[in-house]
Amino acid sequence: MHVMTGKDAVGGGLRERKKRATRAALAEAAVRLAAEHGADQVTVEAISAAAGVSVRTFFNYFDSRDDAFVVVDSDASERVRQAFLAAPPGLPPLEALREALAAELREAERQHELWSLHARVLRSAPHLLVRNLGAQMADESGLAEAIARRIRAGDGSVPSESDADRATPGLYPRLLAAVAGTAVRVSVQHWCERADEVSYADVFREVFDLLAAGLPAPAR
């Protein structure tokens, strides 16, 4: 029931602002405590206390304890969808998606600090990493819908929502959305382990080149 609709635009009322502040405080407390004492040693009570609210209030904001650790930047996926739909009409879907993701990832590289903290927590808690995949899958559905919309309006026409898009997307949109998510995950993972050797932009480009080429056997 805490869907936090698209009204993330700067809050007008005091209520909205306070709600987001509380939510942010809970999430930040959760991550900081997890980074210090280990994720599974952090109780809801500790998180709530650190955020200055009651335990019951915690569950008013998060459906489960683990949800406080996962990053749900709902704006990011929306930006990617918009950038994808706004790409030049002639561009193939995979290329349009590559550009949209690249732009968003460049943007995300600015908050490198908080991102790194989350990464450390998730690395030591595979259980939470699975949760993140769940969030990623939720985005997948929306992205698949956007892909279906763009394909439907393959010509230069303006892609707008229609009832047909709301229905279950076809196989191709789903596959492309899922593969794109996988590509991001793998590239980030690979780059994190060899950050000194290569730039992320290069890894990202190589991954999408491989996908566009049909994953051919690499030259030896």
CA dist 120 → 32, 107, 123, 167, 174 (Å):
11, 21, 5, 38, 30
C-beta of 24 vs 137, nearer to a second copy: 137
Q: Which residues bind a second copy (CB under 8 A)?
A: 92-94, 126-127, 130-131, 133-134, 137, 151, 154, 168, 171-172, 174-176, 178-179, 181-183, 185-187, 189-190, 193, 203, 206-207, 210-218, 220
* The only residue of 5, 6, 13, 126 in contact with DNA, by rule CB under 7 A: 13
In the numeric block, the tokens 């869907």 are attached to 3
Q: How far apart are CA 174 and CA 177, in angstroms?
A: 5
Q: Contacting DNA (CB under 7 A), which of 8, 24, 38, 45?
A: 45
In the chain the first and final C-alpha atoms are separated, in Å, by 54
Instruction: Decide: is 56 part of the binding site for DNA (CB under 7 A).
Output: yes
Cβ atoms of 96 and 87 closer than 8 Å: yes
Residues 57-96 that bind DNA (CB under 7 A): 57, 59-61, 63-66
Matching residue, tokens 């026409």: 157
- Mark residue 51 as left, alpha or beta (left: phi above 0; alpha: psi -120 to 50; beta: remaining): alpha
- Nearer to a second copy by Cβ, of 11 and 181: the residue is 181
59 binds, among a second copy, DNA, none (CB under 5 to 8 A by kind): DNA
- Angstrom distance (rounded) from CA 87 to CA 68: 34
In the list DNA, a second copy, none, the entry touching 172 (Cβ below 5 to 8 angstroms by class) is: a second copy
| φ and ψ of 170, to 5 deg | -75, -175
Closest approach of DNA to the CB of residue 11, in Å: 8
Does 124 bind DNA (CB under 7 A)? Our answer is no
Residues that bind DNA (CB under 7 A): 13-15, 18-19, 22, 42-45, 52-57, 59-61, 63-66
